[in-house]
Chains A and B, each alone.
Chain A
């Protein structure tokens, strides 16, 4: 049974919208409001405070925070994480491929003597290699 005091106490605790009151008292509160004119004034006063409270809107989480939270899930390979892993792996593969191309181009374009330094001298040219290392033995005389 809803009384005037109980109605006022509920309004003061839960605000001016009966829909937000505890489920078990809502029907009684609606009936009380229909029968007591002063109940409307009580609700109106509380609605003013509800509206002020609603003016304080919480910020939405930023994309960075959302991603950090998703990434903190240990077993979950999120799409973002997979993409970052793939792009990281792709960068690594790209660098490795670029290094390999560089070495190949160097081998192709460098003078034969340098190529032999890199790839190792054939047995019959050991004298030429020695000359490169030690000018004093240059057969043409430095």
Chain B
């Protein structure tokens, strides 16, 4: 990948690495929302997601100064770092069996009201959290983060064929879990 064609974040990362305050602000404005959304959807917990977002950017600042143009795209690397930090959190949760499940309101539709968009959103979030982690990751990366198939496969460390399989199985499971939304 050459500098000009490949990575739209490269110049900003290099400037941030040199301590340019405007570049730091711009990079945060461009990427924090993406990082936070990724962590929130993988972890299902807003507080944990904020912690992961902060830890991710600490790694960004540490690596920005030595960022080498021509290596992986910054956004791909950023997703990989965020996912790794999410794995750490999930591992810690498993080691603490008393940890509570995410505190989300009951998303079931009431008998006398239709599903508002917000309700649908909650239903979807819960259904996503019920998916196996790798299927959830695949859908989050491709649908929500809008990564291309090759990039998403890179982030997940799988082949494109394996990514497609994870996507198909995940979406099929979601369709099954959300059947009543069609009405």
Contact surface of A with B, Cβ cutoff 8 Å:
9-10, 12-15, 20, 22-23, 46, 48-50, 52-53, 55-61, 65-66, 68-70, 72-79
Contacts and interface: CB of A to CB of B under 8 A. Distances in A.
A88 B37 CA distance: 34
B171 A22 contact: no
A72 B58 contact: yes
A113 to B, nearest CB: 57
B104 to A, nearest CB: 11
Across the A-B interface, give the 10 residue pairs with the lowest CB-CB distance, nearest first: A75-B19, A58-B37, A55-B120, A13-B167, A56-B121, A76-B24, A55-B121, A56-B124, A13-B164, A73-B24
Given A49-B178, A68-B54, A57 B121 contact: yes
Nearest to B36: A61
Given A20-B146, A49-B171, A74-B61, 19 more contacts: A12-B168, A12-B171, A12-B172, A15-B171, A22-B148, A50-B143, A52-B178, A55-B117, A55-B120, A56-B41, A56-B121, A61-B53, A65-B32, A69-B32, A69-B53, A70-B28, A76-B16, A76-B61, A78-B25
Nearest to A76: B24
B24 A58 contact: no
Q: What is the predominant secondary structure among interface residues of chain B facing chain A? A: helix
A141 to B, nearest CB: 73
A65 B40 contact: no
Interface residues of B, number: 52
B167 A52 contact: no
A98 B20 CA distance: 37
A94 to B, nearest CB: 26
A21 B36 CA distance: 25
B61 A13 contact: no
Contact of B61 (A20, A46, A72, A77): A72
A50 B142 CA distance: 12
Contacts of A53: 124, 139, 143-144, 174
Give the residue among B16, B24, B54 with the most A Cβ atoms within 10 A. Answer: B24
B148 A14 contact: no
A14 B167 contact: yes
B73 interface: no
A142 B21 CA distance: 71
B46 interface: yes
A13 B164 CA distance: 6
Interface string B133-174: 000000100111010111000000000100111011001101
Contact of A59 (B24, B46, B172): B46
B150 to A, nearest CB: 8
B32 A61 contact: yes
B19 A76 contact: yes
B28 A69 contact: yes
